Amino acid sequence: MTGPLIRAVCCASVLLVALGVGPRAQGEPRLPNASVPTTEHPPALFSEPARLASRTLLIALASAGERLVAVGDRGHILLSDDKGHTWTQAESVPTQALLTGVCFADTRRGIAVGHDEVILTTADAGRTWNRAHYAPEAQQPLLDVWCGQGGRAIAVGAYSAYFSTEDGGATWEEGKFEAQPVRVPVGEAKGTRASHASVATSSSALLPEARRGAADKAAATQGVASAGAAAAGAEPADNIGGGFHLNRIVASSPSRLYIAAEAGHLYRSGYGGVDWVELPSPYEGSFFGVLPLAGDALLAYGLRGNLLRSEDAGLTWQRIPTGTVAMLDGAATIGNEGAHDAVAVVGLSGILLVSHDGGKSFALKQQTDRKGLSGVLAVGAGTLVTVGEGGVKLIALTATPTAARAATAVADGPPKESR
């Protein structure tokens, strides 16, 4: 979906479409991966100065050292050097497309992605940007980007768009992200999925076998029985082979990455994004993010208030009550409290969930303005910087865990996304 259509719908749908693009209609053909243009880019339309840019739709947030960088509608990129209290626009941004993801490899080098399949790079902590890739004719928005070590980065998006770079974003190669036919491990509980996915790339990019995580080794050697796929509620064969929207990519270490995707799909890589394993998932609706925690623990969150927690790098999951059916689309650790991470999760309708026990339980602190939130970072003790429908918002966590209304289960079993 394009920017004009997004701006024509209500604010809640704006965030849903901007972050997840929306489920694909049954039978709708998937767009083939377009080649990456290297020359003759169309002239860029630069993002225009806007006095109230910090109060307009912002989608993603990242840190470049002490600096905060937010991206959003009309190519707006905003910078803050005082923990989110004041913001200035970047001086030169060669796009007016909706920007949906941003990351930094260090305090100066960063990448932003968005609609029109645009990829921007910066080498001065976000003050100025260059356009490295642009393909509006492909009609597959990019939705998130991960910045790794040694110049490596990966951008993901609609219809399994998957781009990688080894030179800090100067050049990009499009890979074919595709899942093999679903294969269910022997003894797998009915209703879960497990398969393997890979990204076409040169063998020289492979990381050493020693860098594979223990969970990835276990998944790779585990016996599987493809005959059980139908009994386990497997996806139809014509849905296999890629095409699901890849909504978020995050890292728990330099080599272990996670992708949250459409239609209940979750992926993990132990090779820094060269190959992928599809994780079992007890939910068929879309996921909009994964948050790695201490050790092998992680959270996955998405539509209708669904929040799942894993202790084993995504092999098994436990549903966490949230007290809401609003879409959850951003999360961050907000400090360490003893042996546990404190965690914040944000979503539409001003939803803020706070955990003080490593994501095992949450308190619901819905914001009174009910404006959707899509990104969050912790700055200082007890203060969150969030972005979303109303732009930037600072939230002070002044209440104790027992002072806020505890989240309670709102449904008997996982609600299903209409697809």
Vertex 379 angle, CA 319 and 351, to 5°: 40
Write out the E strands in 152-216. 153-157, 162-165, 173-174, 177-179, 184-185, 195-199
Q: 330's torsion region: left (phi>0), alpha (psi -120 to 50) or beta?
A: beta
Section 24-42 average pLDDT: 47
Cβ count within 10 A of residue 408: 10
**If pLDDT is split at 50, 70 and 90, which confidence band does 16 have?**
very low
Please tell me the distance from the alpha carbon of residue 380 to that of residue 392, in angstroms, as a whole number.
Answer: 16
Residue 45 pLDDT exceeds 50? yes
The pLDDT value recorded for residue 121 is 98
Q: What is the pLDDT of residue 340?
A: 74
Average pLDDT in the chain: 78
- Between residues 403 and 278, the one the model is more confident about: 278
Residue 388 in this model has a pLDDT that exceeds 50: yes
Output the pTM of the full model. 0.79
Domains of the chain from N-terminus onward: 3-26+42-322 (2.120.10.30)
300 pLDDT above the threshold of 60: yes
Residue pair 324/305 in contact (Cβ under 8 Å)? The answer is: yes
Based on its alpha-carbon atoms, the radius of gyration of the chain, rounded to whole angstroms, reads: 20
- With b for 16 or more beta-carbon neighbours within 10 A and e for fewer, the 322-345 pattern comes to bbbbbbbbbbbbbeeeeebbbbbb
pLDDT higher than threshold 50 for residue 301:
yes
In the predicted structure, residue 230 carries a pLDDT above the cut 70: no
Mean pLDDT of 289-298: 96
pLDDT at 365 over 70: yes
Identity of the highest mean pLDDT range in 207-216, 369-378, 404-413: 369-378
Position 86 scores a pLDDT of: 98
Quick check: 186 pLDDT over 60? no
Pairing, β 405-406 against β 363-364: antiparallel
Does position 225 have pLDDT exceeding 60, yes or no?
no
Q: Are 344 and 298 in contact (CB under 8 A)?
A: no
* Percent of the chain scoring above 90 in pLDDT: 64
Can you tell me the distance from the alpha carbon of 190 to that of 192, in angstroms, rounded to the nearest whole number? 6
Give the torsion sign (CA, 270, 273, 274, 276).
Answer: positive
pLDDT at residue 303 is higher than 80: yes
Is pLDDT larger for residue 314 or for residue 178? 314
pLDDT of 202 = 32
Q: Which of residues 184 and 373 earns the better pLDDT score?
A: 373
pLDDT tens by residue, 46-83? 999 999 999 999 999 999 999 999 999 999 999 999 99
Q: Span 134-139, mean pLDDT?
A: 94
Q: Which helix (H) or strand (E) holds 78?
A: strand 77-80
Q: Confidence class of residue 243 from pLDDT cuts 50, 70 and 90? A: confident
Burial label, 53 (beta-carbon count in 10 A; 0-12, 13-18, 19+): buried
For the segment 263-273, the average pLDDT, to the nearest whole number, is 91
- What is the 8-class DSSP label of residue 51? T
Which residue from 174, 182, 196 is spatially nearest to 240, judged by alpha carbons?
A: 182
Mean pLDDT of 88-107: 98
In whole angstroms, what separates CA 317 from the centre of its chain?
19
* Per-residue pLDDT tens over the stretch 316-345: 999 999 999 999 999 999 987 656 789 999
- The answer, yes or no, to whether residue 31 has pLDDT greater than 50, is no
Q: Give the pLDDT of residue 339.
A: 60
Helix (H, G, I), strand (E, B) or coil at 191: coil
Q: Please give the average per-residue pLDDT across 11-17, as a whole number.
A: 43
Q: Give the Cα separation of 104 and 180 in Å (integer).
A: 32
**183-205 mean pLDDT:** 43
**pLDDT value at residue 338:** 59
Q: What are phi and psi of 239, to 5 degrees?
A: -95, 0
Percent of the chain with pLDDT strictly greater than 70: 69
pLDDT band at 277 (very low <50, low <70, confident <90, very high): confident
pLDDT reading at 185 higher than 90: no
CA distances from 378 to 5, 254, 332, 387 (A): 32, 22, 7, 12
- For residue 270, the model assigns a pLDDT of 84
Which of 14, 137, 139 has its CA nearest to residue 73?
14
- Give phi and psi for 194, each to the nearest 5: -150, 125
**Mean pLDDT computed over 200-227:** 29
Determine the average pLDDT of the residues in 20-33.
Answer: 43
Q: How far apart are CA 182 and CA 354, in angstroms?
A: 35
pLDDT of the residue at 271: 84
